[in-house]
Structure 1
Amino acid sequence: MTSSSKTLGEFFDSFECEAFRLETLDDYSKSGNVDAYHAFLAGQPQPSDYNAGWVEELRSHTRAGKRVHRVHILSRPLTDYLSFELGWGYRKNSTGGEEFFILDITDKPNPLAGVPDFWCFDSASVVVMNYDETGKYVGSALLEPERVVEFTGYRDTALAEAEPFVEWWAKYGT
């Protein structure tokens, strides 16, 4: 992995066509939105301004014709965190134009076992997301350019194996 003078936010500010995310963990509760997660667990309603800043950023990209999409690899039954992320996060973020897909490995092997979480921007830059053993985000690393093809292959496999979130949620959502 290489270091980059660009932050993850700067990659979002500068991508031209596509930003793709692969999510592989069952619990990101130590990586952000902690208060919202606790509110969800307590049965509180989702605040109307939940994720407002991210939704507005998504809208700015999608209005400009850019695509932001992700695949989450998961299995059922959902963890409490995944129920929160999908029920509050994905449903809210989709109002900004982000597209979500689910690769449900409940009854099949994971075709991307061992692949880390990552963002891929314009099929040109890959930023691996690093988490500690508790699921806390500890930073990101830009991959060397020669590894981009490997990770776009992971993206393509994930998308080919996944189904649209809306369809999956209609079958399995809570």
Structure 2
Amino acid sequence: MFDGFRYTVFRLETLQHYAAEYEGEAFQRFVASERDGAPPPLSDTDWGAKVRAATARGRRFNRVHVVTEPLSDYVRFECSWGYRRNSAAGEDIRILPVKQGDWPEGIPALDYWLFDSHKLLLMNYADDGSLISTELVDDPDTIVRANVWRDRAMHLSIPFIDYAAQFDDYMRPR
């Protein structure tokens, strides 16, 4: 689906920890380098290369992550080692910060991808943050709701770069 979209891809993220196997080693390096004071890596990733190529052709990637403050170690890792690189590659990443126990009105606590505003891919996660399944939804009412949620999340969120300015390289408050 990432190769076939024509105009826009939107991602809503709502978890404070994702248990992706491919990130395990990088997360451990993040924790270790934070102790050592090493800077975050600046090299591009496969995702960054995909974003860079698509945005060069005029396509847009948008993402909103609802983050609970104080930030979990995983969200700090995702911001420090992922979002900084991905936003430099051209992805418009936005943060919707909430206090522990709060949730933004009109935003569901679910993750999804929305392609060209009409193809919806729900992401189903276990309590530990591991991906259980994905579900391609073709119900028009659900797709319209996903567009409304996207618009609301974009409206309530702030650009990642602005949000990150209040933190150090490891997303610790200044």
Interval of TM-score (by shorter of Structure 1 and Structure 2) = 0.7 to 0.9
One-letter amino acid matched to 2:18: Y
**Which of residues 139, 146, 150 is equivalent to 2:145?**
150
Letter in 2 for 1:153: V
1:84 alignment partner AA: F
Aligned to 1:78: 71
Q: Distance in 1 between matches of 2:73 and 2:80?
A: 10
Partner deviation per Cα, 1:75-118 (whole Å, 9 max, x = no partner): 21110000000011000111211111011112864224543100
Q: Which among 77, 81, 90 is matched to residue 83 of structure 2?
A: 90
Task: Report the Cα offset of residue 171 of structure 1.
Answer: 2.0
Q: Give, as a single letter, the amino acid of the residue that structure 1 aligns with 2:78.
A: E
Aligned length: 163
Match of 1:103 among 96, 106, 109: 96
SS at the partner of 1:13? coil
Deviation at 1:46, TM superposition (A): 3.8
Match of 1:26 in 2: 16
Quick one: distance in 1 between partners of 2:150 and 2:53? Answer: 23
CA drift of 1:144 comes to 2.0
Contact 2:19 2:128 in 1 (8 A): no
Q: Secondary structure at the match of 1:34?
A: helix
Matched, 1:69 2:62: yes
The share of aligned pairs that are identical, in percent, is 34
Q: 1:30 touches 1:134 (CA, 8 Å); kept in 2?
A: no
The correspondence of residues 45-56 of structure 1 with structure 2, limited to 5 A, is 45-49=39-43, 52-56=45-49
Aligned partners of 1:66 and 1:164: how far apart in 2?
18
Comparing 78-87 and 98-107, the one that deviates more = 98-107
Given candidates 163, 169, 173, the residue that maps to 1:168 is 163
State the SS of the aligned residue for 1:33.
helix
| Separation of aligned partners in 2, 1:34 and 1:102 | 23
Aligned partners of 1:166 and 1:37: how far apart in 2? Answer: 21
What's 1:5 paired with? none
**Does the residue aligned with 1:62 lie in a helix, a strand or coil?**
helix
Unpaired segments ≥5 residues, structure 2:
none
Task: Calculate the aligned-residue CA RMSD, in Å.
Answer: 1.8
Q: Is the 8 A contact 1:18 1:67 kept in 2?
A: yes
Partner SS state of residue 81, structure 2: helix
Check if 1:119 corresponds to 2:113: yes
Q: Which amino acid aligns with 1:148?
A: I
